[in-house]
Amino acid sequence: MRIADRYELTYPVGSGGMGQVWAGYDERLDRPVAVKFLKPGLAVEADRHTVVERFQREARITARLDHPGVPTVHDAGVVDDELYIVMQLVPGTLFADLIAENGPLPVPWAAAIGAQICSVLAAAHAASLVHRDLKPTNLILGPTGLVKVLDFGVAAVLDADLPKLTLTTDIIGTPTYMAPEQALGSSSVSYRADLYALGCILHELLAGEPPYAADNALGMLHEHLEAPVPHVADARDDVPAAFDELIVALLAKDPQDRPESAAVVYRQLLRWAATDLSGLSRPPQDHSAADPTSPHRFPFGPIPRDTIARARPAAAAAASASIPSLDDVHAVRDQALALADEERFGQAADALETMLRRAAPVYGQRSPEILEARLDYAGMLMLAGDFRTALPVFEQLIVDVTARNGPEHELVRECRQHVATCQAELGEATEALLTLRSLIAASPGRVGFPLRHQAAVIMAGLGRIPEAIAELDALLADMQSTPNPDQPTLADVVALRRHLHQLAEGQDFR
Q: 76 forms bridges with which residues in the sheet?
A: 85
| Exposed/middle/buried for residue 332 (C-beta within 10 Å: 0-12, 13-18, 19+) | buried
In the DSSP assignment, the letter for residue 312 is S
| Exposed/middle/buried for residue 12 (C-beta within 10 Å: 0-12, 13-18, 19+) | middle
> Which letter, b or e, does each residue of 385-411 get, where b requires 16 or more Cβ atoms within 10 Å of its Cβ?
ebbebbbebbeebbebbeebeeeeeeb
Chain-centroid distance, C-alpha 245: 34
Q: Within 65-191, where are the H helices? A: 95-102, 107-126, 162-165, 180-183
User: 133, 151, 376, 386: which is the annotated catalytic residue?
Assistant: 133
Strands (E), 204-331: none
**Contact (CB, 8 A) for 333 and 285:** no
Query: Active site includes 376?
Result: no
**Contact (CB, 8 A) for 146 and 307:** no
What's at 18, amino acid-wise? M
3-class DSSP state for residue 313? Answer: coil
Peptide bond into 488 cis (omega under 30): yes
- The upper half-sphere exposure of residue 62, i.e. CA atoms within 13 Å in the direction of its Cβ, equals 28
- At 16, give phi and psi (nearest 5°): -145, -160
Distance CA 34, CA 492 (A): 43
Distance CA 326, CA 32 (A): 26
Given phi > 0 = left and psi -120 to 50 = alpha, else beta, which region is 274?
A: beta
Strands (E), 1-48: 2-3, 7-15, 20-26, 31-37
**Contact (CB, 8 A) for 241 and 268:** no
How many residues comprise the chain? Answer: 510
Instruction: Give me the active site residues, please.
Output: 133
